[in-house]
A and B are shown apart, each in its own frame.
Chain A
């Protein structure tokens, strides 16, 4: 290994790093931040290890950020490290969101609060739609993947089928076909 990696951090340090990432991350774009923190600045893991983890975190179900936290935590500190990183990314941000929700509930007596949240939600749906369109753009322009995408949309949005069965069905079919094509 050309670059010697730095000494391994303690579970508490891992918790604090991820707490900071969790509390300062708004609206995504976290993987670049983590790469900077763990690979470039602190030299805690190699870039290859990091990128391997990132593609697994994206392929497996689960939030990419929390998946990545567990992957990094496990690499750097085994079971304790994984738990520390997971708690770090989830717990402080969970407390903040509950406080924020409570604050908005108090403000809910004013009609203007609901109007403001309506405006915020309308703009925020743009985030969801933009992400959906970006994801759709990355789908290969072939009949089979496009049909899977359309069928998933139709089953979930129009037929309102339970997501679990839709994903198990469409997902395993799609993964199997992709796997055997090589």
Chain B
């Protein structure tokens, strides 16, 4: 397919504008389009990419860059990066530009408060979709829930937690338990 990078761009451009409250919220839809609609990656590959993106430094939305790279190499990575970051970059640039002229306080408050439930619903949906794509059954699901509880109740370092998840699974694998 000669226009693969363009198709990737077309998938990520609109997704950019729905990343409210951070890239997490778009993951459910990324999964739907990449895995279910276009069959560019399998569900397992998508979850692997998600794990790598979480281990890597920088904005979480670089998941898009990694996915673009895996589908179509350099041009795929470029298309996905420009797609996921481009539109919102212009948006905030425009707002920064006109901010000094308008007293936007009330609209800003409405935006922030009004989008809160939408963002919460989207992030919960993303978690649901990701949990469904995990293979590893109840062990994997249980790990996800334990990790959630630890993050909410203790000041644990997220990177350490992810590394422990990997270590746990490898340990169990070596003991031939999974």
Binding site for B on A (CB under 8 A): 22-28, 52-53, 55-67, 70-71, 74-75, 82, 86, 89-90, 92-94, 96-98, 100-101, 104-105, 111-112, 114-136, 138-140, 145-146, 148-153, 156-157, 160, 162-164, 167, 170-171, 174-179, 182
Contacts and interface: CB of A to CB of B under 8 A. Distances in A.
Which are the 10 A-B pairs with shortest beta-carbon distances? Answer: A93-B58, A126-B147, A123-B165, A152-B121, A119-B169, A62-B88, A175-B114, A27-B158, A163-B29, A179-B110
Contacts of A152: 117-118, 120-122, 125
Contacts of A127: 54, 147, 151, 158, 161-162
15 contacts: A22-B58, A59-B112, A61-B18, A62-B91, A100-B55, A120-B54, A124-B50, A125-B127, A126-B161, A129-B124, A129-B131, A149-B117, A171-B115, A174-B115, A175-B110
Interface residues of B, number: 108
B10 interface: no
Interface string B62-104: 1001100110000001000100010011011101110100000
A167 B136 contact: no
The A interface, classified by DSSP as helix, strand, loop or mixed, is helix
B114 A176 contact: yes
Nearest to B73: A98
A126 B25 CA distance: 14
Contacts of B145: 126, 129
- Give the residue among B115, B121, B125 with the most A Cβ atoms within 10 A: B121
Given A118-B135, A118-B136, A121-B51, A93 B56 contact: yes
Given A62-B91, A135-B116, A151-B121, A97 B65 contact: yes
Contacts of B27: 128
Interface in B117-174: 117-131, 134-136, 139-141, 143-152, 157-159, 161-170, 173
B170 A63 contact: no
A123 B140 CA distance: 8
Nearest to B128: A157
Contacts of B81: 90, 94
Given A101-B69, A157-B125, 5 more contacts: A63-B60, A94-B81, A98-B77, A105-B70, A130-B152
Contact of B151 (A119, A130, A139, A167): A130
Contacts of B108: 55-56, 59
Nearest to B49: A101
Nearest to B110: A179
A127 B163 CA distance: 13
A132 B111 CA distance: 19
B135 to A, nearest CB: 7
A72 to B, nearest CB: 9
Contacts of B44: 114
Nearest to A108: B48
Contact of B124 (A55, A61, A70, A157): A157
Contacts of B121: 148-153, 156, 170
B24 A66 contact: no
Contacts of A114: 44, 48
Contact of B117 (A56, A92, A124, A146): A146
